[in-house]
Structure 1
Amino acid sequence: MHSGPGEQPWDSLLDTEAAVAFTQELVRLRTVNSEGAEAVERPAADLVAALFTRFGWEHTVTEVAPGRPNVVATVEGGGGQGPTLMFEGHTDVVTEGDPADWSVDPYGAEIRDGRMWGRGTADMKSGVAAMIYGVRALQQAGPFPGRIVLGVMADEEGMMLGAKAFAASPAAGEVDGVVVCEPEGYEVCTSARGGIRLRLDLTGVMAHGAMPQEGRSPIEAGARIVEALGTVREWAAVRFGRHPHAGSVTVTPTVLLGGDPDQLNVIPAHGMVGVDVRTIPGTDHAELIERIRTTAEQAAEPFGVAVRQTVVDDRPAVETPEDHPVVQGLVAAHTRVHGSAPAFGAVPGTTDGTILTRDAGLPTVVYGPGGKWIAHQKDEFVEVREIGEYARVYAGAAHHFLTGSTTPAPEGGAAA
């Protein structure tokens, strides 16, 4: 069934047009992860479940919160015993913001100039479509050992409830490797930066703005804390070093609150500093969190302001060895499709893969259609050709992983 150098049976069976059309269907659903929303992913989950049914794939639809379902399918290879590979994605998206800031309809899924435009095109409804249709083509190409799990999770843009629920389920214990199909610009991301979100609540003494000697200002203390956090960033860069792909630890103040715009003559009693911390593999989170706490307290002490630190979220940096079979499968398949080996990289933030590694110990790698830096921006887009390209790579990577292939992939196609 080989129709050319480097081609595989599943290449000719891949329905790229259907994958593109399915991406459009998903993008046209406004599945914004917003506080108080009661049915974020439900319309997209129904669409995915209907496609799984049409393909004859056994699947479950499990709510992890009201209106927030995970859809998980298992595709048996029919070729005997073998490992289990999982492809993972999500269908919730961040808000589009003010539609007037967009040059296109955020939910139109318009195709123009070789690109599909709209919220979720890159992050990551195209990845969901590519993984589904890639697996479908591989299945139609004939038996393969083992099985493939397709997980379309809820709440990735929030607290990752979907990934947490799957990681806690018996099904996670049967998975041997995971490809997370988030947009990474053709990079095979074997590591992902960790994330710590901190809240520093400041308590001072309220006073008249004309009598500052009677108060203890959380605003002045907060400003000094923001400045002092720069020294923590410099310390962390030395203490934890630099990762070849994930870079260095960053410590970024993101919120500074205090006072009332309608009471400009009042020194407030309370304030807050919010901090976003991104870590690299090998970072000691407990040590870093303690360093931030003591630095903030020392900065606020001259102002007589108390500091109470709360860890809002703590996600570790994760890393899968480059010689792991799930990574090597992607490298081999990418090389075959594009004619050259991919670059390795790191995920700038966190994905569901972080949770699957942290909570279930699963080896994860992130690789999916869309630019690495396009997520959450206005005028989001994905190159239409990438949907088919990634579907081919997913099919090839699955075949390589499930068959235990050690033969270098033949080169073919055009480089990315």
Structure 2
Amino acid sequence: MIEVDAEGVVAFTQALVRIPSTNDPARGRNELPAAGLVAAQMRAWGWEPLISEAAPGRPNVVAVVEGGLPGPTLMFEGHTDVVTEGDLAEWTVDPFGGEIRDGRLWGRGSADMKSGLAATLFATRALQLAGPFPGRIKVCALADEEGLMIGAHHFVDSGLAADVDGAIVAEPEAGEICAVAKGALRLRVDFTGKMAHGAMPQHGRNPIPAAGALLVALGAYQDELQKRFPAHEHLGEVYVTPTVVRAGSEEQVNVIPAVASVFVDVRTIPGVSHAEVAARVGDLAAREGVATEVSILVDRPAVEVPVEHPVVAALAAAHTAVTGEPPVYGGVPGSTDGTVLTHWGGVPSVVYGPGGKWIAHQADEFVEVDEIVRCTRIFAEAARRFLSDGAAGSDAL
């Protein structure tokens, strides 16, 4: 096994967790300090990070580590932003304290995904010190995964994904190797009626009943989709979920509103056409005779990379080599930067990293310290195998 700096990767994770890198302009917070810490660590190792802003104060940090021999390009990816800590009363630890207690490192972003980001850096450094090795590794710390994934889109749009042969995304997956991820389609449906006094509804056109009819129709449409597309082995069912309904104002009980809106969060599995779903929701909304408009807020297709792909196979082999256990395959219930890398960048991606699958975004978020170190070893071994096997395959051709 490649030797890794176990103390270093844990300490670096603590340092990252202690930076409140939420996207919160009102409190003067963004990813900039976390990105700066990543860049400083890269420079300390002699790497030359490329820093580019996906948005003001929200930089991507990318370093290319050459192995010294011809070969393919592997990408390690993590994000520097975290979600809000929420209500401090729900926490029993400082959310940005990076405390280690009972074998766990606690704090917002400890699992999602500063430990994974740290593991990618220290795994790459370990392989570099053990080198030379074929090809190169792009170590990427991107902004805004928790939002619109502008960091990943900026990375792809800048052409930086063009030479990448495979990517490992270090999100927390509880030891599961996730080569599939659910798609996300978020829609806004606006119903436009005519405002009127509540005492004289005959002079208006109430959009609320139309919105209510859509809510009922969406339940039936979800049943239809689930029958057409049986549950995926790792991703489960297709879901069509109304999440927000808006109409009028609480203070205007005696006014029929002019507009009502329904927001819908659709989670898909491979084979489901997002364009077809959006069109069908529009048809369902139009049935009530009120003027309607459907807006697509987010469109991230499902990801499905074959487990036989070299980047997945290398990760699975590394998992077994380090843990002594067979790989367990799973699926990502949401979308990650890997969705952007695969669908817009053409990069086969697999998701795997330290931390529990369901601990993200919760109070008292934590990651097992041993798991940080274990994943660092697995990442280093996965990189060695992927790059070596890819170089051997190129020689054979």
SS of 1:360 mapped into structure 2: coil
- What's 1:350 paired with? 335
CA contact (8 A) 2:238 2:266 kept: yes
Corresponding residue to 1:67 among 57, 62, 71: 57
**Aligned ranges 1:309-324 → 2 under 5 Å:** 309-324=294-309
Aligned partners of 1:376, 1:98: CA distance in 2, in Å? 12
Aligned partners of 1:14, 1:127: CA distance in 2, in Å? 14
- What's 1:111 paired with? 100
CA contact (8 A) 2:71 2:390 kept: no
Aligned partners of 1:154, 1:37: CA distance in 2, in Å? 18
Aligned partners of 1:158, 1:130: CA distance in 2, in Å? 23
> Does residue 15 of structure 2 align to residue 25 of structure 1?
yes
**Aligned ranges 1:171-186 → 2 under 5 Å:** 171-186=160-175
Residues 164-199 of structure 1 show CA distances to partners (whole Å, capped at 9, x for unaligned) of: 111123331111100000011111000111111100
Q: Name the count of aligned residue pairs.
A: 392
Q: Which amino acid aligns with 1:315?
A: R
Corresponding residue to 2:148 among 152, 159, 168: 159
Aligned partners of 1:271, 1:76: CA distance in 2, in Å? 56
Corresponding residue to 2:232 among 243, 250, 263: 243
- What's 2:368 paired with? 383
Residues 211-263 of structure 1 show CA distances to partners (whole Å, capped at 9, x for unaligned) of: 44443322222222112101111111122333221222111000001121112
> Does residue 324 of structure 2 align to residue 339 of structure 1?
yes
Aligned partners of 1:204, 1:168: CA distance in 2, in Å? 40
Corresponding residue to 1:124 among 113, 116, 136: 113
Residues 97-119 of structure 1 show CA distances to partners (whole Å, capped at 9, x for unaligned) of: 12122222111111122111111
- What's 1:409 paired with? none
Corresponding residue to 1:306 among 291, 311, 315: 291
- What's 1:327 paired with? 312
SS of 2:262 mapped into structure 1: strand
CA contact (8 A) 1:236 1:288 kept: no
Corresponding residue to 1:51 among 36, 41, 50: 41
- What's 2:207 paired with? 218
SS of 1:227 mapped into structure 2: helix
Q: Give me the TM-score of the superposition, normalised by structure 1.
A: 0.91
Aligned partners of 2:318, 2:186: CA distance in 1, in Å? 37
- What's 2:359 paired with? 374
> Does residue 353 of structure 2 align to residue 359 of structure 1?
no
| 1:37 Cα offset (Å) | 7.4
SS of 2:160 mapped into structure 1: helix
CA contact (8 A) 2:22 2:29 kept: no
SS of 1:322 mapped into structure 2: coil
Q: Which amino acid aligns with 1:152?
A: A
Residues 297-347 of structure 1 show CA distances to partners (whole Å, capped at 9, x for unaligned) of: 22x33xxx3221111121111111100010011100111111111211111
**Aligned ranges 1:71-86 → 2 under 5 Å:** 71-78=61-68, 80-86=69-75
- What's 2:394 paired with? none
Aligned partners of 2:50, 2:293: CA distance in 1, in Å? 43
Corresponding residue to 1:399 among 371, 384, 390: 384
Q: Which amino acid aligns with 2:215?
A: V
Residues 149-178 of structure 1 show CA distances to partners (whole Å, capped at 9, x for unaligned) of: 100001111111111111123331111100
Q: Which amino acid aligns with 2:344?
A: D
Q: Which amino acid aligns with 1:42?
A: L
- What's 2:286 paired with? 297
Q: Which amino acid aligns with 2:334?
A: G
SS of 1:174 mapped into structure 2: coil
Corresponding residue to 1:16 among 6, 23, 43: 6
- What's 1:231 paired with? 220
Aligned partners of 1:373, 1:330: CA distance in 2, in Å? 22
SS of 1:30 mapped into structure 2: coil
CA contact (8 A) 1:38 1:67 kept: no
Gaps of at least 5 residues in structure 1 are 1-7, 407-416
Q: Which amino acid aligns with 2:312?
A: V
State the superposition RMSD in angstroms.
1.7
Aligned partners of 1:40, 1:82: CA distance in 2, in Å? 36
CA contact (8 A) 2:99 2:106 kept: yes
Q: Give me the TM-score of the superposition, normalised by structure 2.
A: 0.95
| 1:38 Cα offset (Å) | 6.6
SS of 1:335 mapped into structure 2: helix
